[in-house]
Amino acid sequence: MRISQKVTRKLITLALIVILSAIFAATAPSFLKLRNVQEILRVAAYTGIICVGVSFVLIGGGIDLSSGGIICFTGIIACRLAMLGLPWPVILLAAVVVGAACGFFNGWLITHFYLNDFITTLATGFVFSGFGLLVIAKEPNGTVMSQTITNRGFLVLGKHVGGFYYIVIAWILLTLVAWFIQTRTRYGLHTCATGSNAKSSEMSGVNVKRMKISTFTICGACCAIGAVFTVAYQQTAYLSLGSGMGFDAVAACVVGGVMLGGGKGDAVGAFLGAVFMTLVTNGMRKYGLDTSWQYVFEGAVILIAIMSDAGFAVFSARRLRALSEKNANEEALLEARAKGGGAQ
């Protein structure tokens, strides 16, 4: 059975990752060290968990730029709760609830008022980081107080076991669950349908509005999970937590094949996208090269990814046309036969 386009797209990203790691491993001594692999996975996990949430929104035909704000808000809440000495499950649950609420607010605002996803989530991102400032611990004279978390029950989340940070394990689990939901459950099918052709999905009885709101809610929850693990690792929360993550997560998803426009790609693609982007950044640092080249390279990689994907689409469109040309020459044959019959 021919491998479907989705799998091919993921194979390309996987191939790039393998090639890139091979090159880095060959030329940079410290690349293959256990600690470096751990580090790559940990950083990729932080972006990856947000990418899982964003992939739901992208597949559903929307876009979410407020993940930075949600991370800041839920991260600070987690930090405040951790200072109170609560165990990590309670904190994680509280953060996820708040994150989901922020996501729901996004989805409700967009579907209820027919607003444009891009601008609305950009604006709500600012609003959520404003909430973050509201809840952060402050000195009596109003300036922000910086706190170091010492609550053992919470800091365990930042540790690693058998070489894998808990955030990495959570990331892999989340990706598998998300992939299962997106490809195996009815909800996933309906999300993909809504993203690909909202009108006909609605005609077939899919509640498009509820779909859109739920994708944003899931995205909010994932941002909260990512924030909690990061705060646990850094043992503190600060105002600029998660800044710029909104765009990086979308870029990683696009590189992983979850394209804007809806219906394409899935969580595993986003996983590979996150790994690839982190790999590029990490690898480039190995050469003591002026880090500005790392930004140049990152920009170039994103451009190549979208162009190759567009090329991919154009190529498959050309393949389609070739198919119909093949039918055309059959036509001459049929034309002759039809003329023979003719009408009375």
In the bound state with other proteins, the residue whose beta carbon lies nearer, of 163 and 311, is 311
DSSP letter assigned to residue 204: T
Cβ proximity to other proteins: between 61 and 99 the closer is: 61
Q: For residue 161, give the H/E element and its range.
A: strand 160-161
**Which tokens sit at 242?**
């998660």
Residues 182-221 that bind other proteins (CB under 8 A): 184-186, 189-190, 192-193, 195-197, 199-201, 203-206
75: its two tokens: 């991260």
Task: Tell me which residues in 134-173 interact with other proteins (CB under 8 A).
Answer: 139, 141-148, 158
Smallest separation, CB 129 to other proteins (Å): 6
Query: What whole-number distance in Å separates Cα of residue 326 and Cα of residue 65?
Result: 45
Residues in 85-104 that interact with other proteins by CB under 8 A: none
Q: How far is CA 205 from the centre of its chain?
A: 28
Taking CB under 8 A as the criterion, the residue among 99, 263, 269, 273 binding other proteins is 263
- Which residue of 179, 238, 271, 276 would you call a contact of other proteins, by CB under 8 A? 238
Task: State in angstroms the smallest separation of the CB of 96 from other proteins.
Answer: 21
According to CB under 8 A, which residues from 121 to 140 bind other proteins? 122-127, 129-131, 133, 139
Scanning residues 283 to 312, which ones bind other proteins (CB under 8 A)? 284-300, 302-304, 306-308, 310-312
Specify the DSSP class assigned to residue 116: -
268, burial (CB in 10 Å: exposed 0-12, middle 13-18, buried 19+) = buried
- Tell me how far apart the alpha carbons of residues 170 and 53 are, in angstroms, rounded to a whole number: 13
Specify the stretch interacting with other proteins by CB under 8 A; choose among 18-26, 90-98, 171-179, 213-221: 18-26
Q: Which two tokens stand for residue 80?
A: 């405040």
C-alpha 339, offset from chain centre = 57
**Binding status of residue 177 toward other proteins by CB under 8 A:** no
Alpha-carbon distance of 235 to 43, in angstroms, equals 16
The nearer residue to other proteins, 215 or 281, going by C-beta atoms, is: 281
